Amino acid sequence: MVFLQVIPYYLDLGKNLNDQMGNVANYFQRWMLIVIALATLVGVIAVVQVHAKNVQKRSKDWLFSIIVLVILALMLVAGLPLKEVTLGPTNSVYLYLFNNAYTPLSGTMYSIIAFFITSAAFRAFRARNIEASLVLIAGLLMVLSNAPLFTVMWPPFKTIGDWIMAVPNTATMRAITMGIALGTIALAVRTLMGIERGYLRGGGD
């Protein structure tokens, strides 16, 4: 599978052979999609297992487990792909829950990151040592560079901010990215050689 995917990327062995290898790789990828679709069922079973046990044992906050199980069942039934009985993604109950519960909750979770950033910044921006002081100074300069009020007062703030992003930030990120690529290759080699077994039954021995 690995070579079927990698060879056409690097080697030009003629259109026919490259296409055939691509087709075989796609065929195996379809297998993978079927396995993943089945795995979703495993996820549902795992959720039911945990929350049903919570309800059964009357564990702490077991009432929330009932809500999870009820909503799970409701969405599962309403979303069944049976157009003949008006079920599926266009079902009114499904759409109501999706638009009025799922979407706003998801949006809320995303937007609260702003508050987490504030509390993290409060803790990080303390000049405890040289490194933390550098972070504090760079962070302050970036804030000043991105706030129109300060760039209007003193335009070089924008130039300084751009320089921080283009030079030290880009250089560091490129070094980290190169390291990640090298680490990924080493992990791939270890996995292909069967040395990396940590993810296989806790070591495979």
What's the rounded Cα separation, in Å, for the pair 113 and 121? 12
CB of 82 to other proteins, least distance (A): 22
- Binding segment (CB under 8 A) for other proteins, from list 38-46, 73-81, 85-93, 141-149: 38-46
Half-sphere exposure of 134 (CA within 13 A, CB side): 5
What's the rounded Cα separation, in Å, for the pair 149 and 134? 23
- For the four alpha carbons of 138, 140, 146 and 150, in that order, the dihedral sign comes to negative
Nearer to other proteins, 153 or 181 (CB): 181
Nearer to other proteins, 10 or 149 (CB): 10
Nearer to other proteins, 90 or 177 (CB): 177
CB of 140 to other proteins, least distance (A): 15
CB of 154 to other proteins, least distance (A): 26
- Binding segment (CB under 8 A) for other proteins, from list 80-88, 92-100, 141-149, 169-177: 169-177
Residue list 74-133, contact with other proteins (CB under 8 A): 102, 105-106, 109-110, 112-113, 116-117, 119-121, 123-124
What's the rounded Cα separation, in Å, for the pair 200 and 196? 8
Question: Is residue 50 within the footprint of other proteins (CB under 8 A)?
Answer: yes
DSSP 3-state assignment of 12? coil
Nearer to other proteins, 85 or 110 (CB): 110
**Residue 87: DSSP 8-state:** -
Question: Is residue 189 within the footprint of other proteins (CB under 8 A)?
Answer: yes
Query: 166 with 142: CB under 8 angstroms?
Result: no
Contacts of 88 (CB under 8 A, 6+ apart): 79, 80, 81, 82, 94
CB of 4 to other proteins, least distance (A): 14
